[in-house]
Structure 1
Amino acid sequence: MRTALAFASALALSACAVGPDYRPPASLPADQARLAELSGTTAVTDAPAATQWWHLFEDPALDRLVAKALAHNTDLRVAAANVRRARGLLSEARAAALPTTTTSGQFTRSRNVVNFGQGLTGFTQEVYTAGLDASYELDLFGGVRRSIEASRGDIGAAEAALDAARVSVAAETALTYANACATGAQAQVARDTLALQEKTLDLTRRLLAGGRNTQRDVDQSVVLVEQARAQAAGFEAERRASLYALAVLTGEPPASFDAAAAACVTPPAVRAPIAVGDGQALLARRPDVRQAERQLAADTARIGVATAALYPSISLLGSVTTTGLSPSDLGTSDSFGYSVGPLISWNFPFSGAARARVRQNKAIAEGSLASFDKAVLTALQETEQALARLKGAIEREEALSRALKASESAAFIAEKRFGAGSDSFLQLLDAQRSRADARAAYADAQAARAESQVALFKALGGGWEGAPQPVAAGQEPSGTR
């Protein structure tokens, strides 16, 4: 026994972990990670980005909906289950570094017949046996340690995937709420336009009866009325579709949509400059970049797992048994037996499947490195695009606001002049059509601004910090991860 233990100790002291040691990829230089769209605009600042960014909209209904989605969204529950699965696999990998034991017990009753020269004689014998077998694989080449490293990387990747899902769910909830408000606003504009067109139609019919108009004027007015009615119906349908989607995002059946969201007719907007930080902080905050880095770490460790399979496997085996003819004999000094010794195994040939698995895992790690580089570039790209689109959306909204004021004034003057007989009916229709178009365009611009702001917040990668552990609807969410 002492010889076997000394042999195992010597091997353990000389053990090493084969395969490459993981080194995180180098960070992008500051000049390459800078955000070019930060210059020349007052819509954003380079102050540190907000975490729970939806509070910047100052909309209690939106705050409540995002909090509910982060607590009960079904996609988040799936991602959280994947984290628990990864932790279970780490426990399994750690167990491979510990000795394994097996206990056994046996009772045998047998009848034997013996010829002692005076005829056959039968007798019955009972035997009791208890045993303990133990085995321990020496991790001489680090296969188990690399497996633990890979499992830790998988946990980090799963946690980052959960955080990335939180970012997406928060952004999707805010965007869907903004769409519900925007289509509600557009439907309201269409209904107001319909009411004005119906008044114009009534006036046109009365003028026709008085001989001041023609049937063509009435027909043209009917066209505008029905077009406004059709627009109102389309916007109302889209509003309800957004409400159903919003309910599912928060873990509820579609019919259980939020009453406050159903009543919203003003798209939420952040009027103050949005803090976005800098490119280095962006890359450190984005969960998808962290997920790609942790996946690279796990895949690098698996090269070591595959490489360790090329070397001998050495295990220390031992067993202890006690045997007796009665239960009382078990455990006595004369009933004990034991065996102990090393077992060495090695797969041949060396250039077969084991080496092929090493090459496979190296290729996987190279692909993971490329995926990490792509995640970094994508993070910068999405942020730059979101900044550019937000700038354009703000300028478009401001321009259309000025256009709406001018069209409202022109329509008001045309209606007065038409009533006084100074303008023709075609001039009135043209002014009213321009006003309706301006109202619809401005409502669309408000929706586009809200969408651009949410897209920027999503690109910045915040919103996962301090989020609760997701649970089924109706349950109280637990603490943060």
Structure 2
Amino acid sequence: MKAKLITQLASACAVLGLDGCTLGPDFHAPSTPLGAHWQQPDASTTRSRAVPGDVDSQWWRSFGDPQLTALLAEAQANNLDLRVAASHVEQSLAARATVSADRLPSIDATGDYSRARGSERGLSDISGNNGKDNYNVWNTGLNLAWEADLWGRVRRSVEAADAKVQVSVEEQHAAMVSIMAQVARDYIELRGTQSSLEVTRKNLDIARHSLDLTRARLAQGVATDLEVAQAAALRASIEARVPALEQQRSVLINALSFLVGRQPGALSAELSPSKAIPAGPANVPVGLPSELAQRRPDIRRAEADLHAATAAIGIAKADFYPRISLSGNAGFQAMQLSNLGSWGSHTFAFGPSLSVPIFEGGRLRGQLQLRESAQREAGIAYQRTVLAAWHEVDNALSGYQADQRRHQSLELAVTESQRALASAQQQYAQGSVDFLNVLTVQNALLANQAALVHSTADVSLTLVTLYQALGGGWQQPAQAALAGDGRQR
């Protein structure tokens, strides 16, 4: 009897659900017409140029540095910010499951026992003893409740929850893009700092040789105390640069240790040996402008926010209409445990309930206006996000080309400064020029070499910024599966 009744209730619920409609506007993905105005800068005069082509999701491999690749793999697995983002995705999926449960009937099994006594002068005593004796009551059964989604309130709620799942997934993607870029930046800056340290030490050796030569010339009577003091000051000023560079090296190694989820100093042994600054490829694929909305997690997140806000309008509109709920229960009640379960002790109740909003003091209308305003704001936020993305890409492209041209000029400046220093040292040894010429030329060489090291790092750093602006660095197979799962649940 109970199974038959529950089946009938579920069938009635399904029939009513099929007749329902969905209120509110349907979401349509916004267009991004700004792509037509994007022009790539001319890169014909630089070593590396931006070209059309698919953006590599594992762009760091283009640097050809296995150690950088290993660090990024470790960061993907152990970075704490990424683990927090993954937890947010799990929470949004759980919240979606909670909302989705409203589409189905809820069935609860109940059972209770009570020892009671009625009043001799009150309402009728169910025991039939007129309140003169204690009695037992045993109850067991099933309760069923379901709200017919006639106006699509539950369907819009599930739609909004799906969009919020997508928001959390895109936030996870954005976190991955940011972490991958930060690891690459810190690694490149570390190699740049190590290169600056090597340049400084080489110039320190030159300064020490110049000081020894000046002292020897002073002993021969062909140099002055002033020249010796100038040479000693030059050596000391170069020596003063070493501690700051060593401290910066330690800070960057610790920063990388934090990004991969390790304690301070954990990477010192493997990162302390100097290596060359990783350089980018000759051709940098940047994709088509129209693809940027599919690659950039912030644009995808803004679209999901707009989707959720659009679905919320349907929820607010459904609140204006009646709610029809079906409820029922079937079970047994007896005053003796031995009678519980007999046909004579069975009970059941079934019936619909109707709730119609008549006067809400403007609450429902205000709620609808709030949802509509939130959707308009989400639409503006989407447009702003897309526009900011185009600006970031354009700035990154032009910055990458400018850094390359600067790097080429500094290479020529270092070459000429080295020639000038060799000539000045030779002339000083021959006594044709004083030490001030050597001092001036070596200071110029040191400045140009330091600038060249910074420029080499800047070219690679700007390339990382370009990849980040293009939205590369998150579309791994596991991530793609998670994103698809979030949309389908």
Amino acid at match of 2:426: K
Determine the structure 2 residue equivalent to 1:319.
Answer: 329
Note closer, same or farther for the CA distance 1:84–1:41 as it changes in structure 2 (3 Å cut): farther
The range that moved more, 348-357 or 382-391, is 348-357
Amino acid at match of 1:281: E
Amino acid at match of 1:248: F
Note closer, same or farther for the CA distance 1:110–1:11 as it changes in structure 2 (3 Å cut): closer
Secondary structure at 2:107 match in 1? strand
Q: CA deviation at 1:449?
A: 0.9
Note closer, same or farther for the CA distance 1:170–1:308 as it changes in structure 2 (3 Å cut): same
Amino acid at match of 1:35: Q
Note closer, same or farther for the CA distance 1:271–1:122 as it changes in structure 2 (3 Å cut): closer
Structure 2 residue runs without a partner (length 5+): 121-129
Structure 1 residue runs without a partner (length 5+): 115-119, 470-477
Determine the structure 2 residue equivalent to 1:189.
Answer: 199
Q: CA deviation at 1:122?
A: 6.5
Separation in 2 of the partners of 1:376 and 1:152?
Answer: 22
The counterpart of 1:297, out of the listed 307, 312, 320, is 307
Q: Are 2:62 and 1:56 aligned? A: yes
Separation in 2 of the partners of 1:30 and 1:291?
Answer: 19
Determine the structure 2 residue equivalent to 1:361.
Answer: 371
Separation in 2 of the partners of 1:440 and 1:121?
Answer: 100
1:114-146 CA-to-partner distances (Å, cap 9, x unmatched) read 9xxxxx997654332223222111111111111
Q: CA deviation at 1:328?
A: 3.1
Contact 2:32 2:386 in 1 (8 A): no
Q: CA deviation at 1:342?
A: 1.1
- How many percent of aligned residue pairs carry the same amino acid? 31
Separation in 2 of the partners of 1:123 and 1:210?
Answer: 129
Root-mean-square deviation (Å):
2.7
Separation in 2 of the partners of 1:164 and 1:113?
Answer: 68
Determine the structure 2 residue equivalent to 1:212.
Answer: 222
Q: Are 2:142 and 1:138 aligned? A: no
The range that moved more, 296-305 or 338-347, is 338-347
Q: CA deviation at 1:408?
A: 0.5
Separation in 2 of the partners of 1:77 and 1:416?
Answer: 61
Secondary structure at 1:133 match in 2? strand
> Superposed, which structure 2 residues align to 1:64-463 within 5 Å?
64-110=70-116, 125-463=135-473
Note closer, same or farther for the CA distance 1:139–1:45 as it changes in structure 2 (3 Å cut): same
Secondary structure at 2:29 match in 1? coil
Secondary structure at 2:158 match in 1? helix
Q: CA deviation at 1:301?
A: 0.7
Q: CA deviation at 1:64?
A: 0.4
Note closer, same or farther for the CA distance 1:143–1:211 as it changes in structure 2 (3 Å cut): same
Note closer, same or farther for the CA distance 1:363–1:65 as it changes in structure 2 (3 Å cut): same
Separation in 2 of the partners of 1:388 and 1:226?
Answer: 40
- TM-score, length of structure 2 as denominator length: 0.89
Determine the structure 1 residue equivalent to 2:126.
Answer: none
Secondary structure at 1:462 match in 2? coil
Secondary structure at 2:71 match in 1? helix
Determine the structure 2 residue equivalent to 1:20.
Answer: 25
Separation in 2 of the partners of 1:405 and 1:172?
Answer: 33
1:304-329 CA-to-partner distances (Å, cap 9, x unmatched) read 11222222221111122312233332
Separation in 2 of the partners of 1:439 and 1:337?
Answer: 92
Q: How many residues align?
A: 467
Secondary structure at 1:200 match in 2? helix
Contact 1:70 1:468 in 2 (8 A): no
Secondary structure at 2:302 match in 1? helix
Secondary structure at 2:396 match in 1? helix
Separation in 2 of the partners of 1:124 and 1:270?
Answer: 89
Note closer, same or farther for the CA distance 1:10–1:50 as it changes in structure 2 (3 Å cut): closer
Amino acid at match of 1:295: D
Q: CA deviation at 1:347?
A: 3.5
Amino acid at match of 1:453: L
Note closer, same or farther for the CA distance 1:348–1:224 as it changes in structure 2 (3 Å cut): farther
Separation in 2 of the partners of 1:22 and 1:112?
Answer: 60
Contact 2:43 2:50 in 1 (8 A): no
- TM-score, length of structure 1 as denominator length: 0.90
Note closer, same or farther for the CA distance 1:423–1:41 as it changes in structure 2 (3 Å cut): closer
Secondary structure at 2:307 match in 1? helix
1:434-458 CA-to-partner distances (Å, cap 9, x unmatched) read 2111211111111111111111111
Q: Are 2:39 and 1:35 aligned? A: yes
Determine the structure 1 residue equivalent to 2:125.
Answer: none
1:263-313 CA-to-partner distances (Å, cap 9, x unmatched) read 234211114121112211222211111111111111111111122222222
Q: CA deviation at 1:9?
A: 6.7
Contact 1:70 1:467 in 2 (8 A): no
